Structure 1
Amino acid sequence: MSLTPEDATRHAEKMARIKAARAKMMAGKTGEKGLIIVHTGPGKGKSSSGFGMVLRCIAHGMPCAVVQFIKGAWDTGERRLLTTHFAGLCQFYAMGEGFTWETQDKARDIAAAKAGWVKAKALILDERIRLVLLDEINIALRYGYLDADEVVEFLLTQKPAMTHVVLTGRNAPPGLIEAADLVSEIAAVKHPFKEGIKAQKGVEF
Protein backbone atom coordinates (compact mmCIF):
# COMPACT_ATOMS: atom_id res chain seq x y z
CA MET A 1 0.00 0.00 0.00
CA SER A 2 1.51 3.30 -1.07
CA LEU A 3 0.80 6.60 0.68
CA THR A 4 0.04 9.79 -1.13
CA PRO A 5 1.89 12.93 0.04
CA GLU A 6 -1.38 14.10 1.57
CA ASP A 7 -1.76 10.83 3.50
CA ALA A 8 1.80 11.06 4.77
CA THR A 9 1.24 14.64 5.89
CA ARG A 10 -1.99 13.78 7.72
CA HIS A 11 -0.31 10.85 9.41
CA ALA A 12 2.66 12.96 10.52
CA GLU A 13 0.34 15.63 11.91
CA LYS A 14 -1.74 13.03 13.76
CA MET A 15 1.37 11.43 15.30
CA ALA A 16 2.69 14.85 16.32
CA ARG A 17 -0.58 15.56 18.15
CA ILE A 18 -0.45 12.21 19.90
CA LYS A 19 3.18 12.75 20.89
CA ALA A 20 2.40 16.20 22.30
CA ALA A 21 -0.57 14.87 24.27
CA ARG A 22 1.51 11.99 25.60
CA ALA A 23 4.33 14.32 26.65
CA LYS A 24 1.84 16.56 28.46
CA MET A 25 0.37 13.58 30.30
CA MET A 26 3.78 12.18 31.26
CA ALA A 27 4.97 15.57 32.54
CA GLY A 28 2.58 15.20 35.45
CA LYS A 29 3.70 11.65 36.27
CA THR A 30 6.77 12.32 38.40
CA GLY A 31 6.03 10.38 41.58
CA GLU A 32 7.50 7.04 42.60
CA LYS A 33 6.36 4.59 45.26
CA GLY A 34 6.54 0.95 46.11
CA LEU A 35 3.53 -0.71 44.54
CA ILE A 36 1.17 -3.44 45.68
CA ILE A 37 0.62 -5.41 42.47
CA VAL A 38 -1.96 -8.18 42.02
CA HIS A 39 -2.06 -10.66 39.13
CA THR A 40 -5.28 -12.67 39.31
CA GLY A 41 -7.94 -14.28 37.14
CA PRO A 42 -8.51 -17.75 35.67
CA GLY A 43 -6.12 -17.40 32.75
CA LYS A 44 -2.55 -18.64 32.47
CA GLY A 45 0.32 -16.20 32.96
CA LYS A 46 -0.03 -14.77 36.45
CA SER A 47 3.14 -16.29 37.88
CA SER A 48 4.90 -15.88 34.54
CA SER A 49 4.23 -12.15 34.69
CA GLY A 50 5.49 -11.97 38.26
CA PHE A 51 8.72 -13.73 37.34
CA GLY A 52 9.12 -11.40 34.39
CA MET A 53 9.15 -8.50 36.87
CA VAL A 54 11.73 -10.35 38.99
CA LEU A 55 14.00 -10.63 35.94
CA ARG A 56 13.57 -6.93 35.19
CA CYS A 57 14.72 -6.12 38.72
CA ILE A 58 17.72 -8.39 38.35
CA ALA A 59 18.64 -6.69 35.07
CA HIS A 60 18.63 -3.35 36.90
CA GLY A 61 20.73 -4.73 39.76
CA MET A 62 17.78 -4.47 42.16
CA PRO A 63 17.72 -7.12 44.92
CA CYS A 64 14.49 -9.12 44.96
CA ALA A 65 12.96 -12.21 46.52
CA VAL A 66 10.43 -14.93 45.76
CA VAL A 67 8.22 -16.83 48.18
CA GLN A 68 6.18 -19.64 46.61
CA PHE A 69 3.09 -20.54 48.62
CA ILE A 70 1.92 -23.60 46.69
CA LYS A 71 4.71 -24.98 44.55
CA GLY A 72 7.11 -26.87 46.78
CA ALA A 73 9.78 -29.24 45.52
CA TRP A 74 8.89 -28.74 41.85
CA ASP A 75 11.92 -28.31 39.64
CA THR A 76 10.63 -25.30 37.72
CA GLY A 77 12.64 -23.40 35.13
CA GLU A 78 12.33 -20.10 37.01
CA ARG A 79 13.54 -21.65 40.26
CA ARG A 80 16.48 -23.33 38.55
CA LEU A 81 17.48 -20.14 36.72
CA LEU A 82 17.23 -17.83 39.71
CA THR A 83 18.93 -20.08 42.24
CA THR A 84 21.69 -21.15 39.86
CA HIS A 85 22.56 -17.88 38.16
CA PHE A 86 21.14 -15.02 40.21
CA ALA A 87 21.27 -16.11 43.85
CA GLY A 88 23.23 -12.97 44.69
CA LEU A 89 20.35 -10.75 43.61
CA CYS A 90 17.29 -12.94 44.20
CA GLN A 91 16.43 -14.95 47.28
CA PHE A 92 14.14 -17.88 46.48
CA TYR A 93 11.96 -19.75 48.99
CA ALA A 94 9.64 -22.57 47.90
CA MET A 95 7.50 -22.86 51.03
CA GLY A 96 4.50 -24.72 49.64
CA GLU A 97 3.70 -28.40 49.90
CA GLY A 98 1.95 -28.67 46.55
CA PHE A 99 -1.69 -28.25 45.63
CA THR A 100 -4.28 -29.15 48.25
CA TRP A 101 -5.47 -32.19 46.33
CA GLU A 102 -1.90 -33.52 46.41
CA THR A 103 -1.18 -33.09 50.13
CA GLN A 104 -4.71 -33.97 51.31
CA ASP A 105 -3.65 -32.59 54.68
CA LYS A 106 -5.25 -29.27 55.60
CA ALA A 107 -3.26 -28.76 58.81
CA ARG A 108 -0.02 -29.27 56.90
CA ASP A 109 -1.13 -26.84 54.18
CA ILE A 110 -2.03 -24.19 56.76
CA ALA A 111 1.30 -24.61 58.54
CA ALA A 112 3.18 -24.27 55.24
CA ALA A 113 1.22 -21.13 54.29
CA LYS A 114 1.84 -19.52 57.68
CA ALA A 115 5.57 -20.31 57.48
CA GLY A 116 5.61 -18.77 54.03
CA TRP A 117 3.91 -15.61 55.31
CA VAL A 118 6.43 -15.28 58.16
CA LYS A 119 9.25 -15.48 55.62
CA ALA A 120 7.46 -13.07 53.28
CA LYS A 121 7.03 -10.44 56.01
CA ALA A 122 10.71 -10.60 56.90
CA LEU A 123 11.71 -10.15 53.26
CA ILE A 124 9.29 -7.27 52.71
CA LEU A 125 10.57 -5.46 55.80
CA ASP A 126 14.17 -5.70 54.54
CA GLU A 127 14.47 -2.36 52.76
CA ARG A 128 17.44 -3.59 50.72
CA ILE A 129 15.01 -5.82 48.79
CA ARG A 130 13.20 -3.81 46.15
CA LEU A 131 10.62 -6.36 44.97
CA VAL A 132 9.07 -9.40 46.64
CA LEU A 133 7.02 -11.88 44.62
CA LEU A 134 4.44 -13.80 46.66
CA ASP A 135 3.67 -16.51 44.13
CA GLU A 136 0.23 -18.14 44.43
CA ILE A 137 -0.48 -16.47 47.79
CA ASN A 138 -4.02 -15.75 46.58
CA ILE A 139 -4.74 -19.48 46.69
CA ALA A 140 -3.71 -19.60 50.35
CA LEU A 141 -5.96 -16.59 51.00
CA ARG A 142 -8.88 -18.14 49.14
CA TYR A 143 -8.77 -21.31 51.23
CA GLY A 144 -8.42 -19.36 54.46
CA TYR A 145 -4.93 -20.67 55.22
CA LEU A 146 -3.93 -17.04 55.77
CA ASP A 147 -6.04 -14.17 57.08
CA ALA A 148 -6.60 -11.86 54.11
CA ASP A 149 -7.28 -8.86 56.36
CA GLU A 150 -3.98 -9.39 58.15
CA VAL A 151 -2.08 -9.59 54.87
CA VAL A 152 -3.70 -6.42 53.55
CA GLU A 153 -3.14 -4.51 56.79
CA PHE A 154 0.53 -5.49 56.83
CA LEU A 155 1.03 -4.35 53.23
CA LEU A 156 -0.72 -1.03 53.87
CA THR A 157 0.90 -0.20 57.19
CA GLN A 158 4.29 -1.92 57.36
CA LYS A 159 5.58 -2.34 53.81
CA PRO A 160 8.51 0.04 53.23
CA ALA A 161 7.59 2.97 51.03
CA MET A 162 9.73 1.97 48.04
CA THR A 163 9.26 -1.82 48.13
CA HIS A 164 7.18 -3.44 45.42
CA VAL A 165 5.14 -6.53 46.37
CA VAL A 166 3.58 -8.76 43.69
CA LEU A 167 0.83 -11.19 44.70
CA THR A 168 -0.32 -13.84 42.22
CA GLY A 169 -3.01 -16.48 42.02
CA ARG A 170 -6.68 -16.87 41.16
CA ASN A 171 -9.49 -15.35 43.19
CA ALA A 172 -7.67 -12.47 44.83
CA PRO A 173 -9.89 -11.34 47.73
CA PRO A 174 -11.81 -8.07 47.33
CA GLY A 175 -9.90 -6.36 50.16
CA LEU A 176 -6.58 -7.04 48.46
CA ILE A 177 -7.86 -5.76 45.13
CA GLU A 178 -9.11 -2.63 46.87
CA ALA A 179 -5.75 -2.03 48.55
CA ALA A 180 -3.60 -2.72 45.50
CA ASP A 181 -2.08 -0.03 43.30
CA LEU A 182 -2.10 -2.20 40.18
CA VAL A 183 -4.42 -5.12 39.45
CA SER A 184 -4.37 -7.26 36.31
CA GLU A 185 -7.04 -9.90 35.74
CA ILE A 186 -5.95 -12.52 33.22
CA ALA A 187 -8.84 -14.08 31.34
CA ALA A 188 -9.00 -17.70 30.19
CA VAL A 189 -9.79 -17.58 26.48
CA LYS A 190 -8.24 -20.84 25.32
CA HIS A 191 -5.96 -23.45 26.91
CA PRO A 192 -4.44 -26.64 25.44
CA PHE A 193 -5.20 -28.58 28.65
CA LYS A 194 -8.81 -28.85 27.49
CA GLU A 195 -7.55 -30.56 24.34
CA GLY A 196 -5.66 -33.19 26.34
CA ILE A 197 -2.27 -31.44 26.31
CA LYS A 198 -0.40 -31.75 29.59
CA ALA A 199 1.68 -29.03 31.28
CA GLN A 200 4.92 -28.71 29.34
CA LYS A 201 8.47 -27.74 30.25
CA GLY A 202 9.27 -24.16 29.27
CA VAL A 203 5.60 -23.19 29.04
CA GLU A 204 4.04 -24.07 32.40
CA PHE A 205 7.15 -24.80 34.45
Structure 2
Amino acid sequence: MTDSRDISAEDQARHAQKMSKIKAARDRMMAGKTGEKGLVIVHTGPGKGKSSSGFGMIMRCIGHEMPCAVVQFIKGSRDTGERRLLETHFPHLCQFHAMGEGFTWETQDKRGDIAAAEAAWARAQDLIRDPEIRMVLLDEINIAFRYGYLDPMAVIEFLAAEKPPMTHVVMTGRNAPPELIELADLVSEIAVVKHPFRDGIKAQQGVEF
Protein backbone atom coordinates (compact mmCIF):
# COMPACT_ATOMS: atom_id res chain seq x y z
CA MET A 1 0.00 0.00 0.00
CA THR A 2 1.29 3.44 -0.92
CA ASP A 3 1.92 5.77 2.03
CA SER A 4 0.27 9.15 1.43
CA ARG A 5 3.50 10.74 2.67
CA ASP A 6 5.30 9.22 -0.34
CA ILE A 7 3.17 11.12 -2.90
CA SER A 8 5.17 13.98 -4.36
CA ALA A 9 3.81 17.44 -5.00
CA GLU A 10 4.17 16.74 -8.73
CA ASP A 11 2.13 13.51 -8.46
CA GLN A 12 -0.51 15.34 -6.48
CA ALA A 13 -0.72 18.10 -9.09
CA ARG A 14 -1.11 15.58 -11.93
CA HIS A 15 -3.80 13.73 -9.99
CA ALA A 16 -5.68 16.95 -9.27
CA GLN A 17 -5.54 17.96 -12.94
CA LYS A 18 -6.81 14.54 -14.06
CA MET A 19 -9.67 14.57 -11.53
CA SER A 20 -10.59 18.12 -12.55
CA LYS A 21 -11.00 17.02 -16.16
CA ILE A 22 -13.10 14.04 -15.12
CA LYS A 23 -15.30 16.25 -12.94
CA ALA A 24 -15.81 18.76 -15.77
CA ALA A 25 -16.85 15.95 -18.15
CA ARG A 26 -19.15 14.48 -15.52
CA ASP A 27 -20.75 17.87 -14.82
CA ARG A 28 -21.40 18.39 -18.53
CA MET A 29 -23.04 14.98 -18.77
CA MET A 30 -25.19 15.51 -15.68
CA ALA A 31 -26.30 18.97 -16.85
CA GLY A 32 -28.35 17.32 -19.60
CA LYS A 33 -29.95 14.79 -17.25
CA THR A 34 -32.84 16.82 -15.89
CA GLY A 35 -35.84 14.60 -16.63
CA GLU A 36 -37.78 12.59 -14.07
CA LYS A 37 -40.23 9.73 -14.59
CA GLY A 38 -41.51 6.66 -12.91
CA LEU A 39 -39.32 3.76 -14.00
CA VAL A 40 -40.04 0.14 -14.84
CA ILE A 41 -37.09 -1.70 -13.31
CA VAL A 42 -36.20 -5.36 -13.87
CA HIS A 43 -33.74 -7.42 -11.80
CA THR A 44 -33.14 -10.77 -13.48
CA GLY A 45 -30.45 -13.37 -14.09
CA PRO A 46 -29.35 -16.57 -12.33
CA GLY A 47 -27.32 -14.90 -9.57
CA LYS A 48 -28.38 -14.18 -6.00
CA GLY A 49 -29.48 -10.68 -5.07
CA LYS A 50 -32.43 -9.81 -7.29
CA SER A 51 -35.01 -9.57 -4.51
CA SER A 52 -32.40 -8.13 -2.14
CA SER A 53 -31.78 -5.30 -4.58
CA GLY A 54 -35.50 -4.65 -4.89
CA PHE A 55 -35.88 -4.49 -1.11
CA GLY A 56 -32.93 -2.14 -0.96
CA MET A 57 -34.88 0.25 -3.19
CA ILE A 58 -37.92 -0.13 -0.92
CA MET A 59 -35.76 0.84 2.06
CA ARG A 60 -34.53 3.91 0.19
CA CYS A 61 -38.13 4.94 -0.42
CA ILE A 62 -38.88 4.53 3.27
CA GLY A 63 -35.83 6.64 4.11
CA HIS A 64 -37.29 9.40 1.93
CA GLU A 65 -40.77 8.84 3.46
CA MET A 66 -42.12 7.80 0.07
CA PRO A 67 -45.13 5.45 0.36
CA CYS A 68 -44.39 2.08 -1.25
CA ALA A 69 -45.65 -1.49 -1.43
CA VAL A 70 -44.44 -5.06 -1.89
CA VAL A 71 -46.34 -7.90 -3.55
CA GLN A 72 -44.67 -11.31 -3.36
CA PHE A 73 -45.80 -13.66 -6.12
CA ILE A 74 -44.09 -16.91 -5.12
CA LYS A 75 -42.89 -16.66 -1.54
CA GLY A 76 -45.84 -17.11 0.76
CA SER A 77 -46.12 -17.48 4.52
CA ARG A 78 -42.39 -17.95 5.11
CA ASP A 79 -41.03 -15.64 7.79
CA THR A 80 -38.32 -13.42 6.29
CA GLY A 81 -36.23 -10.62 7.75
CA GLU A 82 -37.47 -8.03 5.27
CA ARG A 83 -41.11 -8.91 5.85
CA ARG A 84 -40.68 -8.80 9.62
CA LEU A 85 -38.89 -5.44 9.43
CA LEU A 86 -41.40 -3.79 7.10
CA GLU A 87 -44.53 -5.07 8.84
CA THR A 88 -43.21 -4.32 12.33
CA HIS A 89 -41.57 -0.94 11.86
CA PHE A 90 -42.86 0.66 8.65
CA PRO A 91 -46.50 -0.37 8.03
CA HIS A 92 -47.41 3.32 7.68
CA LEU A 93 -45.06 3.67 4.70
CA CYS A 94 -44.94 0.22 3.10
CA GLN A 95 -47.76 -2.21 2.44
CA PHE A 96 -46.57 -5.83 2.39
CA HIS A 97 -48.59 -8.53 0.62
CA ALA A 98 -47.12 -12.05 0.61
CA MET A 99 -49.57 -13.76 -1.74
CA GLY A 100 -47.69 -16.72 -3.17
CA GLU A 101 -48.24 -20.34 -2.23
CA GLY A 102 -44.56 -21.26 -2.29
CA PHE A 103 -42.37 -22.59 -5.06
CA THR A 104 -44.12 -24.77 -7.64
CA TRP A 105 -42.17 -27.90 -6.67
CA GLU A 106 -43.49 -27.45 -3.12
CA THR A 107 -47.15 -26.79 -3.93
CA GLN A 108 -47.49 -29.26 -6.83
CA ASP A 109 -50.82 -27.59 -7.56
CA LYS A 110 -50.76 -25.59 -10.78
CA ARG A 111 -54.40 -24.53 -10.53
CA GLY A 112 -53.80 -23.14 -7.06
CA ASP A 113 -50.56 -21.47 -8.15
CA ILE A 114 -52.32 -19.75 -11.05
CA ALA A 115 -55.12 -18.55 -8.79
CA ALA A 116 -52.59 -17.17 -6.28
CA ALA A 117 -50.63 -15.39 -9.02
CA GLU A 118 -53.80 -13.88 -10.48
CA ALA A 119 -54.86 -12.65 -7.02
CA ALA A 120 -51.40 -11.15 -6.46
CA TRP A 121 -51.53 -9.38 -9.83
CA ALA A 122 -55.00 -8.00 -9.07
CA ARG A 123 -53.66 -6.59 -5.80
CA ALA A 124 -50.60 -5.22 -7.60
CA GLN A 125 -52.76 -3.40 -10.14
CA ASP A 126 -54.67 -1.63 -7.37
CA LEU A 127 -51.42 -0.58 -5.72
CA ILE A 128 -49.84 0.63 -8.96
CA ARG A 129 -52.95 2.66 -9.86
CA ASP A 130 -52.74 4.55 -6.57
CA PRO A 131 -50.72 7.70 -7.36
CA GLU A 132 -49.85 8.14 -3.66
CA ILE A 133 -47.72 4.97 -3.77
CA ARG A 134 -44.37 5.88 -5.28
CA MET A 135 -42.84 2.41 -5.72
CA VAL A 136 -44.31 -1.09 -6.02
CA LEU A 137 -42.02 -4.12 -5.81
CA LEU A 138 -43.38 -7.19 -7.65
CA ASP A 139 -41.12 -9.80 -6.12
CA GLU A 140 -40.56 -12.96 -8.20
CA ILE A 141 -43.19 -12.01 -10.78
CA ASN A 142 -40.81 -13.25 -13.48
CA ILE A 143 -41.15 -16.75 -12.01
CA ALA A 144 -44.91 -16.49 -12.43
CA PHE A 145 -44.33 -15.60 -16.09
CA ARG A 146 -41.90 -18.47 -16.55
CA TYR A 147 -44.34 -21.11 -15.27
CA GLY A 148 -47.28 -19.71 -17.21
CA TYR A 149 -49.20 -18.44 -14.19
CA LEU A 150 -49.48 -14.95 -15.70
CA ASP A 151 -49.46 -13.58 -19.24
CA PRO A 152 -46.51 -11.16 -19.48
CA MET A 153 -48.15 -9.24 -22.32
CA ALA A 154 -51.20 -8.46 -20.17
CA VAL A 155 -48.87 -7.08 -17.48
CA ILE A 156 -46.86 -5.08 -20.02
CA GLU A 157 -50.00 -3.60 -21.56
CA PHE A 158 -51.27 -2.59 -18.12
CA LEU A 159 -47.98 -0.88 -17.24
CA ALA A 160 -47.92 0.97 -20.54
CA ALA A 161 -51.53 2.13 -20.23
CA GLU A 162 -52.22 2.63 -16.53
CA LYS A 163 -49.03 3.12 -14.50
CA PRO A 164 -49.02 6.68 -13.12
CA PRO A 165 -46.21 8.78 -14.64
CA MET A 166 -44.15 9.06 -11.43
CA THR A 167 -44.64 5.54 -10.05
CA HIS A 168 -41.68 3.15 -10.04
CA VAL A 169 -42.39 -0.56 -10.55
CA VAL A 170 -39.64 -3.06 -9.70
CA MET A 171 -39.93 -6.61 -11.02
CA THR A 172 -37.65 -9.43 -9.90
CA GLY A 173 -36.94 -13.04 -10.77
CA ARG A 174 -34.76 -14.94 -13.20
CA ASN A 175 -35.71 -15.44 -16.85
CA ALA A 176 -37.46 -12.12 -17.37
CA PRO A 177 -39.34 -12.33 -20.70
CA PRO A 178 -37.76 -10.36 -23.57
CA GLU A 179 -40.90 -8.26 -24.01
CA LEU A 180 -40.57 -7.02 -20.43
CA ILE A 181 -36.88 -6.25 -20.90
CA GLU A 182 -37.80 -4.23 -23.99
CA LEU A 183 -40.38 -2.21 -22.04
CA ALA A 184 -38.22 -1.60 -18.98
CA ASP A 185 -36.25 1.57 -18.36
CA LEU A 186 -33.63 -0.14 -16.19
CA VAL A 187 -32.56 -3.78 -16.44
CA SER A 188 -29.92 -5.47 -14.31
CA GLU A 189 -28.86 -9.04 -15.00
CA ILE A 190 -27.22 -10.63 -11.98
CA ALA A 191 -24.75 -13.39 -12.79
CA VAL A 192 -23.66 -16.23 -10.52
CA VAL A 193 -19.93 -16.66 -9.91
CA LYS A 194 -19.97 -18.70 -6.69
CA HIS A 195 -22.77 -19.80 -4.38
CA PRO A 196 -22.39 -21.76 -1.12
CA PHE A 197 -25.41 -23.94 -1.99
CA ARG A 198 -23.16 -25.75 -4.46
CA ASP A 199 -20.93 -26.70 -1.53
CA GLY A 200 -23.77 -28.09 0.53
CA ILE A 201 -24.55 -24.94 2.53
CA LYS A 202 -28.25 -24.37 3.14
CA ALA A 203 -30.08 -21.05 2.92
CA GLN A 204 -29.13 -19.01 5.96
CA GLN A 205 -30.93 -16.42 8.05
CA GLY A 206 -29.81 -12.90 7.27
CA VAL A 207 -28.36 -13.93 3.90
CA GLU A 208 -31.22 -15.58 2.01
CA PHE A 209 -34.18 -14.71 4.21
Equivalent position to 2:72, from 57, 60, 68: 68
Are 1:46 and 2:50 matched, yes or no? yes
Matches within 5 A, 1:123-138: 123-138=127-142
Moved over 4 A (4+): none
- Alignment partner, residue 177 of structure 1: 181
- Alignment partner, residue 58 of structure 1: 62
Deviation at 1:140, TM superposition (A): 0.1
* Distance in structure 1 (CA, Å) of the matches to 2:160 and 2:168: 12
- Alignment partner, residue 143 of structure 2: 139
Unaligned runs of 5+ in 1: none
Equivalent position to 1:83, from 84, 87, 104: 87
Matches within 5 A, 1:1-205: 1=2, 2-205=6-209
* Distance in structure 2 (CA, Å) of the matches to 1:75 and 1:65: 18
* Distance in structure 1 (CA, Å) of the matches to 2:7 and 2:63: 41
Deviation at 1:6, TM superposition (A): 1.4
Q: Normalised by the size of structure 1, how large is the TM-score?
A: 0.99
Unaligned runs of 5+ in 2: none
Q: Normalised by the size of structure 2, how large is the TM-score?
A: 0.97
Q: Paired residues, what number?
A: 205
Deviation at 1:99, TM superposition (A): 0.1
Q: Percent identity?
A: 75
Cα deviation, 1:69-106, whole Å, max 9, x if unaligned, reads 00000000000000000000000000000000000000
* Distance in structure 2 (CA, Å) of the matches to 1:10 and 1:30: 32
